[in-house]
Structure 1
Amino acid sequence: MSNSALTDDQVDVELKKLVQFIKQEALEKAREIQIKAAEEFAIEKAKLVRSETTTIDTVYERRTKQASLAQQITKSNITNKTRLRVLAARQAVLDDVFEEASKKLSEISKDSDKYCYLLKDLILEGTFVLYEKAVKVSAREADYELVNKAIPLAQEEFKAAAGFDISISINESDPLPSESSGGVIVIGSAGKIVVTNTLEERLNLLNEESLPAIRVAIFGESPSRKFFD
């Protein structure tokens, strides 16, 4: 086999082949790097998109909840304010009703016959509460005559119900004020137990005990009420 040296032309051809091979390898390597970079970019982009989407969804959900809560609070505040205004308006009407009733208390005693029987009932109620054999009655001095008429009637009814006599006398040492609308205070047990049955006190009791029924009579049943006495 001949070991003769390559000619210049042959060397030039071999060099060109080598250069072409290196270029081809470089191009393929560059394409591989480009493809891998594109894949990594796509992966990172997808990760960023998912991350940002999650963040946006979280922020949107939080803000939606905050907006819903704020809306509920606002609605609740408006409802409460409206309810309080309605209650205040109703209470004002009820106050006017009882104020008007208070003004008319003094008119009750003008009908002496009816007032006498009312005094009897007020005295009788006090005697049943005390349930003693002797009581005293405080009244307006202007009512003494009617009270004296009412006492025997009360005594008679008490004895019929209780089965024993009761002594009822006017406590003239401590009359009701002249500006009182009337009624009586029944005193027993040597002054230790007192049943206040003045007209003012009866109106106060009516205010406290009958207010729900009066409210229903004026305004009707509340649609939100679930329980009844």
Structure 2
Amino acid sequence: MAQIHAMSDDQVANELRKMTAFIRQEALEKAREIQLKADEEFSIEKSKLVRSETQRIDAEYEKKFKQASMSQQITKSTLANKTRLRVLSAKQEVLDGLFEDASKKMAKEGTKNGKKYATVLQNLILEGLYALNENKVTLRCRAKDDEAVKKAAEAASKEFKDNLKRDVEVVVDEKERLPEESSGGIVLLNGTGKIDINNTFEERLHLLETDALPTVRVSLFGENANRKFRD
């Protein structure tokens, strides 16, 4: 027993060093273990943060991309509408100018050719006689057209009688006239004066603007004649 407890100072010091070294080694290993675990947890948390931030950035990018696409579509649609309106306006200006020129030319030259004008008057009167289909019809015209209208009325009533085998009395209203600035033509009234047919040049041109517009549009713009004037 005395030998077991009897250790020299050097032996004691050696044992202490061994114990100290062992404790230090355990401490280092524990520190390494803690460091590894900390690094692992840091790496996991870092991956989570990176994933989360990447998803946030992707979502923000997708949101901004959609906003940019929508803005681009709105801009494109707005530009297309503005262009369409400009084209529509330009086409309408062409059509307005065309019919305005026709109106001016009609007012200036429509009755210059007396023979041609007489034929036109006869046809306009005959058309009105067929439409009214009455025994007496009154005509209104410009005062300066009296003679031409009377001759045309005589020829028209004769043709009416030849075709329908009955007489029609056609008289010229010398009290109420068409304005002298009118381009020409006539207005027909039935016996009571309550029904009238406007066969003046102005009215025929107005009807032409509506009825012939599809054909005019095809000729000018190459558009579908059956389509309404939209663009």
TM-score where L is the length of structure 2: 0.84
Partner residue in 2 for 1:193: 195
Q: 2:208 aligns with which of 206, 211, 214?
A: 206
Partner residue in 1 for 2:51: 50
Identity %: 52
Offset of 1:191 from its aligned partner?
A: 2.2
Which residues of 2 match residues 22-101 of structure 1 at below 5 A?
Answer: 22-101=23-102
Number of aligned residues: 226
CA RMSD of aligned residues (A): 2.6
Residue 174 (str. 1) matches residue 185 (str. 2): no
Q: Distance in 1 between matches of 2:125 and 2:12?
A: 145
Which residues of 2 match residues 94-113 of structure 1 at below 5 A?
Answer: 94-106=95-107, 107-113=109-115
The residue identity in structure 2 corresponding to 1:165 is: D
The answer for unaligned runs of 5 or more in structure 2 is none
Check the 8 A contact 2:125/2:153 in 1, yes or no. Answer: yes
The answer for unaligned runs of 5 or more in structure 1 is none
Q: Write out per-residue CA displacement over residues 49-68 of structure 1, whole angstroms, 9 at most, x where no aligned residue.
A: 11111122222222222223
Partner residue in 2 for 1:5: 5
Offset of 1:140 from its aligned partner?
A: 0.9
Check the 8 A contact 2:137/2:170 in 1, yes or no. Answer: yes
Offset of 1:87 from its aligned partner?
A: 2.7
The residue identity in structure 2 corresponding to 1:36 is: K
Q: Distance in 2 between matches of 1:189 and 1:53?
A: 91
Counterparts in 2 of 1:23 and 1:158: CA distance versus 1, 3 Å: farther
Offset of 1:180 from its aligned partner?
A: 0.7
The residue identity in structure 2 corresponding to 1:134 is: K
